[in-house]
Structure 1
Amino acid sequence: MFFTVDSQFADGELWRLQELFEILDEKLADIDARMEESADPDSDGLCDRGEYFIGLGFVAIQQYLVETIMFTGLTKSEAYKLGPKQSSGATYVELINACANWWKHEPEWFDAGEVPKKGVKSFGLVTEVTDSPSYQLSDVLASFCGYPEKMVDVLLARALYY
């Protein structure tokens, strides 16, 4: 939850998210270093590991957003429409929520062979950012960071290099 003091936000709970992201940053840096050394990061499982931890980060942000939105008087759908937009036209908050939902439910979608009605919006928002057949969350995160490459392109380039 957050409070305002003299028009400034004072968030007594943000430290939890910051602490988790320090842990995730270290983990992802380690995975990235291993990917640089690997002749085949995908076959070595490194890409899946990275995708897992990136998804975990999206879910942590989603939980924080839901907790924070409760104190605003806005509905989630109203709050998710606020703020800056990504080049796809979706707000960053919408994409974070969609990525968290993707991470939590994609195995069910794969198992069922289709995206259920309640997952269509999340699926659409993520695939609007990346049309890659895999590592979609890595691609969305890369787009947030301003990297033009998609994970699949990086893997292809590495495969051709080795």
Structure 2
Amino acid sequence: MANIRFGSSFADRDLSLLRRHLHLLDSELVPLCLAIKQSGDPDGAGLCDSAEYFIGNGFVAAQRYLTATRSGIGVCAADAFSCAPMVSADLSVAAAINAGANYWKHMEEWFETLGKPAGELKGQAIKTLQQIEIITPWADYTCSNLLASLLGGRSLELSLLVPAIELWRDNLYAMRDNSGSNSLQNRHVVLLS
């Protein structure tokens, strides 16, 4: 779907749908996080796996929004995923979300590859893991750890990513309109807040 811009305002149906989707996922995730805190063995009870599942799917939903938005306004992926806000000097929020989504969608294939003799990850798999490792280790519950890093200590709620995604959209339009000038908002945001 297309975004419609009126000056500095947007009619962005995709963002509205993403926000609703993330709130639905949060309705499962928030009680899971509480249960994790209260459990003596959250891993053994499957609570951490359940939270990882909802978070991974939230990254995929956000990735779909990022891709639809950047392609809809004619910005190439490399430029879009380098657009602010940033979580580090080398990684944008959009690139981190994109990496989280790719990790979630492909990790089973990667584990299958690594389990074969002479199995070695290449190409996009390596790039994805390198991006994730800029802000969190590639370990158990990678999506959960990535979300925690992106949110900088706030509660694990996927909907808390929406303001940064909205800022990214605004910056993407500014990049396109200004042909890449440095007028982007919050160019070096270290953590989302």
The TM-score by the shorter chain falls in which range?
A: 0.7 to 0.9
Match of 1:48 in 2: 49
**Is contact 1:3-1:11 (8 Å) kept?**
yes
For 1:52 and 1:6, locate their aligned partners in 2 and report how far apart those are by CA, in whole Å: 38
Does 2:136 align with 1:130? yes
Q: How does 1:54-73 map to 2 (within 5 A)?
A: 54-73=55-74
Displacement of 1:139 in angstroms is: 1.1
Q: Distance in 1 between matches of 2:86 and 2:8?
A: 24
Describe how 1:1-162 pairs up with structure 2 within 5 A: 1-87=2-88, 89-113=90-114, 114-131=120-137, 133-147=139-153
Helix, strand or coil for the counterpart of 2:22?
helix
Q: Which has the higher contact order (CA 8 A, sep 6+)?
A: 2
Preserved CA contact (<8 Å) 2:100 2:132: yes
Conserved? CA contact 2:42–2:48, under 8 Å: yes
Give the TM-score, by structure 2 length.
0.72
Deviations 1:30-88 (A, max 9, x none): 11122123110011111111111101000000011111111222111111111111136
SS in structure 2 opposite 1:82?
Answer: coil
Aligned residue pair count? 148
Quote the sequence identity (%). Answer: 36
Distance in 2 (alpha carbons) for counterparts of 1:87 and 1:74 = 22
- TM-score by structure 1 length? 0.85
The secondary structure found in structure 1 opposite 2:91 is coil
How far the C-alpha of 1:18 sits from its partner, in A, is 1.3
Aligned CA-pair RMSD: 1.6
Q: Matched residue of 2:84: which SS?
A: coil
Q: Pick which of 78-87 and 112-121 moved more.
A: 112-121
Structure 1 unaligned residues grouped into runs of 5+: 149-162
Alpha-carbon shift at residue 133 of structure 1 (Å):
2.3
